[in-house]
Amino acid sequence: MDVNRREFVKSAVAMGAGAMMANRALSAEGGAEGRVLNVGLLGAGTQGRVLMDDCLSIPGIRFRAVCDIWSYSQRYASRRLKSQYKKDGHEDWGESVNAYEDYREMLDKEKELDAVIVATPDFWHAEHAIACLKAGKDVYCEKEMSNTLENAAAMVKAAKETGRLLQIGHQRRSNPVYQYALRMMRDDKVCGRLTICYGQWNRGVQPKLEWPDRYEVEAATLKAFGFDSMEHFRNWRWYRKYSAGPIADLGSHQIDIFSWFLECDPSRVLAMGGSDYFPDREWYEDVLCTYDYKTKAGSARAFYQVLNTNSYGHYFERFGGDGGAITISENPKKCYYVAEPGKELPPYMSGIETVLVDGHQAVPLVTAISNMGPEGKAAMEAFQTKNVHQLHLENFFAAIRKGDPKELNCDAAEAYKTAVAVLQVIPAVEAAGGVAFQAADFKA
Ligand SMILES: NC(=O)c1ccc[n+]([C@@H]2O[C@H](COP(=O)([O-])OP(=O)(O)OC[C@H]3O[C@@H](n4cnc5c(N)ncnc54)[C@H](O)[C@@H]3O)[C@@H](O)[C@H]2O)c1
């Protein structure tokens, strides 16, 4: 029996069976072996807290450490953990959560960590993930895996060399509505031969992030961790030094789905971007791009756009072919199928009440998948009741418990392919391909 298992059994005996049933962190669902996993959170900002909260809903996950260079984030996460563990009747867990500023100190002192969740700005991902892997930890690292392909490749290499698990946070890979949609298209051919993918993330104008004066990080700390100013520290997404911009930040989620569903990598990308709407931000705010794919069934094209100047239509992905089109999103209301005229529906779609979407009779996917039997029903319940990241984290922890990297829904090698497809949009914008017009061309 390893230390973690011994600890689990000890706690279970101490608490008594009744209390244990009531404690979600130690419920019988704690994993096939009921092994409690010790976890560190590296980067406790907006997304780090989302992932932390999702982990608090997963049985058998115990945070031992929080690491963040911002005392505000550090304190917020530590307090949240202490208060939740207290509510769960686990004061001892809360009391033993340690806070760190420097990840090296955390790795040095927290030898018992099984895994680290990395949710720092993208330019830190490679250094953080590689150090954790080399320290023998399994790693869940947020997307975009890195803002450079060189660093993303180094992450793949480190995972291979250390034999540790590295899951990248493309959470749609663990989302049952995406998994079932893929099955419908691949196995049941509901869309016929796929010829077109479409994706968008349309977001309205948002002001820059601010901070209260009393939480200003000292200039020396900012410098030591690579940030040029407090404004850059808060708005790192908009600067070339720290991020690859909105196409990576938002597009990586959705461009990832294109290759996954088409079962091949793109063969070419053309792109355009605008960087003149916000005079004080570096990255392209609006990017439109088109990919060419050579699938087993023939050629297909994909169009993707990310906007930061208009929110109409928000975000979704759509896959179309000569048999119909599936639209999917992390929003259950935006998941539906529209058949081409004359297309015969599979049994699980027959007799379902359709809804009118943009003038089309659409079959709601959640209802169709729920019709596929108890497994489909349970999958849609999970989709509608669990947070989207929780499912991806659950996949990560299940893979750790099995000790099998092949169980990961988005390992580093798979995510690297997405990083290539996404990050190459930037040179494609810079290349300004296509045909340039001169004013004279429009005069007959
Ligand atoms: N999967 C998703 O849906 C999703 C959603 C949002 C963000 N993200 C990703 O999560 C990551 C974090 O994004 P965010 O929105 O939380 O950013 P954020 O700026 O809100 O948080 C980043 C945190 O990291 C800390 N930090 C910065 N450098 C550090 C260092 N060297 N060591 C320790 N801590 C450090 C900051 O103090 C801050 O608390 C990014 O990679 C982003 O792309 C993913």
Each residue of 304-320: pLDDT tens digit? 999 999 999 999 999 99
241, 143: one domain? no
The response to whether residue 225 sits with its C-beta less than 6 Å from ligand 1 reads yes
Ligand 1 atom showing the smallest separation from residue 118 Cα: 11
Domain stops at, among 116, 149, 170: 170
Q: What is the DSSP letter of 120?
A: S
228, 151: one domain? no
Question: Tens of pLDDT along 49-86?
Answer: 999 999 999 999 999 999 999 999 999 999 999 999 99
Question: Tens of pLDDT along 92-129?
Answer: 999 999 999 999 999 999 999 999 999 999 999 999 99
Whether residue 212 has pLDDT greater than 60: yes
**Residue 35 binned pLDDT confidence (cut-offs 50, 70, 90):** confident
361, 225: one domain? yes
CA of 361 to the centre of ligand 1 (A): 41
Residue 404 belongs to some domain of the structure: no
Alpha-carbon distance 64 to 110, whole Å? 8
Query: How many structural domains are present in the chain?
Result: 2
133, 206: one domain? no
Nearest CA to ligand 1 atom 11: 119
The response to whether residue 48 sits with its C-beta less than 6 Å from ligand 1 reads yes
243, 248, 249, 252 alpha-carbon torsion, rounded to 10°: -150
Q: Which domain holds residue 48?
A: 3-170
Residue 82 belongs to some domain of the structure: yes
286, 302: one domain? yes
Ligand 1 atom showing the smallest separation from residue 144 Cα: 43
Pocket test for ligand 1, best of 125, 142, 225, 283 (most atoms within 8 A of CB): 142
- pLDDT at residue 13, as a whole number: 29
Alpha-carbon distance 318 to 332, whole Å? 14
The response to whether residue 57 sits with its C-beta less than 6 Å from ligand 1 reads no
194, 325: one domain? yes
Domain CATH for 371: 3.30.360.10
CA of 333 to the centre of ligand 1 (A): 28
CA of 124 to the centre of ligand 1 (A): 9
**Residue 4 binned pLDDT confidence (cut-offs 50, 70, 90):** very low
CA of 421 to the centre of ligand 1 (A): 22
Residue 393 belongs to some domain of the structure: no
Domain stops at, among 137, 170, 203: 170
Domain CATH for 66: 3.40.50.720
Ligand 1 atom showing the smallest separation from residue 170 Cα: 1
Nearest CA to ligand 1 atom 5: 47
Question: Tens of pLDDT along 267-302?
Answer: 999 999 999 999 999 999 999 999 999 999 999 999
Domain stops at, among 170, 194, 228: 170
Residue 373 belongs to some domain of the structure: yes
The stretch 382-398 carries a mean pLDDT of: 96
Ligand 1 atom showing the smallest separation from residue 388 Cα: 3
The response to whether residue 46 sits with its C-beta less than 6 Å from ligand 1 reads yes
Whether residue 27 has pLDDT greater than 90: no
CA of 195 to the centre of ligand 1 (A): 36
- pLDDT at residue 327, as a whole number: 98
268, 375: one domain? yes
Close Cβ partners of 242 (under 8 Å, ≥ 6 residues apart): 121, 122, 123, 147, 226, 227, 232, 236
CA of 295 to the centre of ligand 1 (A): 35
Residue 289 belongs to some domain of the structure: yes
The response to whether residue 142 sits with its C-beta less than 6 Å from ligand 1 reads yes
CA of 143 to the centre of ligand 1 (A): 10
145, 276: one domain? no
Residue 442 belongs to some domain of the structure: no
Question: Tens of pLDDT along 242-271?
Answer: 999 999 999 999 999 999 999 999 999 999
Helix (H) or strand (E) holding 312: none
284, 350: one domain? yes
- pLDDT at residue 250, as a whole number: 97
Alpha-carbon distance 32 to 322, whole Å? 44
Whether residue 15 has pLDDT greater than 90: no
Residue 99, phi then psi, degrees to nearest 5? -110, 140
101, 29: one domain? yes
Cβ proximity of 164 and 269 under 8 Å? no
CA of 121 to the centre of ligand 1 (A): 4
Residue 136 belongs to some domain of the structure: yes
The response to whether residue 256 sits with its C-beta less than 6 Å from ligand 1 reads no
Residue 436 belongs to some domain of the structure: no
| CA distance to 20, 88, 118, 146, per residue, from 13 (Å) | 9, 16, 33, 44
CA of 231 to the centre of ligand 1 (A): 15
Neighbour tally for 105: CB within 10 Å: 13
166, 72: one domain? yes
Nearest CA to ligand 1 atom 38: 45
- pLDDT at residue 31, as a whole number: 46
115, 252: one domain? no
